[in-house]
């Protein structure tokens, strides 16, 4: 049936009602945020602001806790909160500050500027290849790397990420269960941990009104629905779309029916927001700390330099605590680094130390503590406590590329937006909870799950669109995204990549020094054909959607010209060469992988315990053997819930052996 014959109102109303949503570019101006020109008089029933954290220095007076959790992001925060709720005394140590600016942190549409806020960002510069010449235009010669933004504040990277919260594939969990022989990892068991996450994590969808605000956006979303078969899957002719939309399930990618059936096509974008405001793990921590005074201590502005270890008479190695240094912006990745370090302190853990610093900093901390490849540690003059070769190896990431087009008119949904500059009317509306909800979402108008033609039965690609300009991470990436309101970006994310050659290695024994990070993309430039073919399929889909949008005649919308990769790159060979140069990632994982003690690459067991060390666990994205799903944050939340259960079970066993009772 010709596209013209598809009822325009039926398709668009159905998509909008189901919440496919549209929104402004998820970016805002890097400077001059309107923080003081319109006092945040607040929305109805607004809780205490979570961007304000009273100054706290608990280790100044208290040097012993049941558990010490290093890191407050997606892995560490849920563990700390759960342990405190069960009655244990828990210290969370965060290198970054507690209090941060409301803008850009809280505004979903400003997430890329949260990523570039110097007060909370850690700017790593990483290698994609060993050979510098293989890098593209995002290579920064002065820093000898490509910008890789991370966050350092209470909440970790959940304070700056794009808030996409998507359930992984069942096979991800079943593979870990098979690898470890531990049935508690199977997909059926792990679904229970998702329900635990949902007990504290709100998930919303983009305001559906955004879709109908802009005819150009409506055309693009309609073309995506038609091109991917979403109309025939759930929005077909003869279906009562309004009644169907009330169910609100067919376009929810986290619905178990879709996950179980490997469904592909267009979906709504689940985002971790509440009433149009970012919800991060800092909120979870602050709520538990307020509800359980004295149990959960939050130590901010403190860089952990090493985990302290004791060796027993029988040779057993045990983690006993941490050594930290007080001070703001001590780590060299901070754009504001260079301050004078303060007092060095030792804090003791009566039970365990849980490392949750992420894929870069967790292996770095283990190695600084003497746990890692012995030859490498000796070369950096770090005393070897335990030769554990897998630490810092197996580093993995996604590959992403974008298809960017420039239209012949501005997008209506960003009309009037100044993205945080003084007098921004949309920011004023967002603060008051009135007017059009342009800033209530994360910038994505549509997301498409797609299988790779030579891949698994489940989707391995995610193609998502935003009225913005994004061509990779480079200094100034956020401001560039909203400088001109006539750009549209389809980002192509390749999940389930086949490259595990990346490494995190120490540059020196200085805890403040940034490690040497090399992802070795595409087999360090010598392989990667399957991944490249998959990315090409995603790019080709984005181009087909753009072409179909142009051909639709039931809307009067703008015309566009592709600017990135550009119309001259149409052949597969040309496109692959471009992708090798320009691809990026921001889901670093797998650098302390789970596995059996006999494996040289394994760092932790199926209960997150570091092999060969008692009282030490790692709970973050570094423990995955391979990256789960398409966006990993929900998977990290789920393993944090699992780790909490494992830790509490071990505490109960220990209490029983001692003749007591676990709390």
Annotation: binding site for FAD: 304
Q: Which of 329, 180, 237 is nearest to 7 (CA)?
A: 237
Length of the chain: 663
Q: Residue 548 — φ and ψ, nearest 5°?
A: -70, -35
Per-residue tokens: 650: 């071990």
**Helix ranges (DSSP H) in 55-160:** 76-85, 102-105, 111-115
Residue pair 557/409 in contact (Cβ under 8 Å)? The answer is no
Distance CA 129, CA 126 (A): 9
Which SS3 state, helix, strand or coil, does residue 541 take? Answer: helix
Counting Cα atoms < 13 Å in the Cβ hemisphere of 449 gives 26
Q: CB-hemisphere CA count at 13 Å for 225?
A: 33
20: nearest Cα among 221, 214, 219: 221
Helix pair 215-227, 529-551: axis angle to 10 deg: 130
Cβ–Cβ under 8 Å, residues 436 and 458 = no
Q: Which residue has the tokens 């994205």?
A: 621
Binding residues: 304
DSSP β-ladder status, 121-126 and 145-151? antiparallel
H or E stretch at 651: helix 633-657
Element spanning 232, H or E:
helix 230-234
d(CA 342, CA 61): 15
Identify the CA nearest to 590 among candidates 631, 619, 625: 625
Q: Which of 453, 521, 527, 495 is nearest to 626 (CA)?
A: 495
Rounded Cα–Cα distance for residues 329 and 610 (Å)? 29
Token pair, residue 438, equals 């342009």
What span, in angstroms and rounded, lies between the C-alpha atoms of 61 and 67?
A: 17
Backbone angles phi, psi at 377, to 5 degrees: -60, -45
Q: Are 241 and 10 in contact (CB under 8 A)?
A: yes
């Amino acid at each position: 049936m010709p596209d013209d014959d598809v009822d325009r109102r039926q398709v668009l109303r159905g998509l909008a009602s189901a919440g496919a949503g549209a929104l402004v570019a998820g970016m805002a101006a890097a400077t001059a945020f309107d923080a003081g020109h319109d006092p945040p008089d607040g929305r109805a029933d607004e809780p205490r602001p979570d961007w304000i954290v009273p100054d706290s220095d608990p280790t100044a007076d208290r040097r012993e806790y049941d558990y010490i959790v290093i890191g407050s992001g997606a892995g560490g925060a849920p563990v700390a909160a759960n342990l405190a709720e069960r009655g244990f005394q828990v210290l969370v140590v965060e290198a970054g500050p507690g209090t941060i600016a409301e803008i850009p942190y809280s505004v979903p549409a400003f997430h890329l500027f949260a990523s570039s806020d110097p007060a909370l960002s850690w700017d790593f510069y990483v290698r994609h290849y060993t050979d510098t010449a293989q890098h593209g235009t995002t290579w920064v010669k002065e820093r000898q790397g490509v910008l890789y933004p991370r966050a350092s504040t209470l909440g970790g990277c959940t304070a700056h990420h794009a808030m996409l919260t998507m359930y992984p594939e069942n096979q991800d969990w079943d593979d870990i269960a098979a690898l470890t022989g531990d049935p508690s990892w199977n997909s059926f068991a792990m679904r229970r941990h998702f329900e635990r996450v949902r007990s504290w994590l709100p998930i919303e969808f983009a305001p559906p009104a955004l879709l109908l605000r802009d005819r150009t956006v409506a055309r693009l979303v309609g073309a995506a629905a038609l091109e991917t078969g979403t109309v025939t899957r759930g929005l077909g002719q003869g279906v009562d779309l309004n009644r169907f939309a009330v169910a609100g399930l067919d376009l929810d990618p986290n619905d178990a029916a879709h996950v179980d059936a490997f469904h592909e096509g267009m979906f709504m974008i689940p985002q971790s927001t509440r009433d149009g405001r970012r919800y991060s793990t800092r909120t979870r921590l602050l709520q538990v700390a307020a509800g359980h005074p004295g149990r959960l201590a939050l130590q901010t502005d403190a860089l952990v330099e090493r985990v302290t270890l004791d060796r027993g008479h029988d040779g057993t190695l045990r983690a006993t605590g941490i050594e930290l240094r007080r001070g703001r912006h001590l780590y060299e990745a901070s754009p504001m680094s260079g301050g004078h370090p303060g007092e060095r302190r030792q804090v003791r853990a009566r039970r365990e130390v849980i490392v949750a610093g992420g894929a870069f900093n967790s292996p770095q901390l283990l190695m600084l503590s003497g746990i890692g490849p012995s030859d490498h540690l000796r070369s950096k003059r770090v005393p070897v406590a335990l030769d554990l070769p897998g630490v810092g190896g197996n580093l993995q990431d996604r590959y992403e590329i974008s298809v960017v087009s420039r239209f012949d008119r501005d997008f209506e949904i960003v009309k009037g937006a100044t993205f945080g500059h003084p007098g921004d009317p949309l920011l004023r509306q967002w603060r008051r909870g009135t007017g059009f909800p342009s800033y209530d979402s994360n910038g994505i108008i549509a997301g498409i799950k797609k299988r790779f033609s030579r891949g698994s039965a489940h989707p391995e690609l995610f193609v998502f669109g935003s009225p913005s300009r994004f061509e990779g991470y480079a200094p100034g990436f956020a401001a560039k995204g909203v400088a001109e309101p006539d750009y549209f970006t389809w980002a192509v994310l390749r999940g389930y990549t086949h490259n595990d050659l990346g490494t995190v290695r120490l540059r020196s024994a200085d805890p403040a020094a940034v490690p040497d990070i090399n992802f070795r993309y595409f087999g360090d430039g010598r392989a990667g054909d399957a991944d490249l073919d998959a990315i090409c399929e995603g790019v080709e889909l984005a181009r087909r959607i753009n072409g179909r949008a142009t051909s639709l005649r039931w809307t009067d919308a703008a015309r566009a010209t592709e600017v990135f990769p550009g119309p001259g790159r149409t052949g597969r060979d040309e496109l692959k060469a471009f992708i090798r140069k320009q691809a990026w990632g921001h889901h670093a994982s797998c650098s302390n992988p789970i596995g059996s003690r006999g494996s040289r690459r394994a760092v932790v067991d199926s209960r997150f315990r570091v092999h060969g060390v008692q009282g030490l666990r790692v709970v973050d994205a570094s423990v995955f053997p391979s990256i789960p799903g398409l966006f990993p944050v929900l998977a990290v939340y789920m393993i944090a819930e699992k780790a909490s259960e494992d830790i509490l079970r071990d505490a109960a066993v220990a209490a029983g052996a001692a003749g007591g009772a676990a709390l």
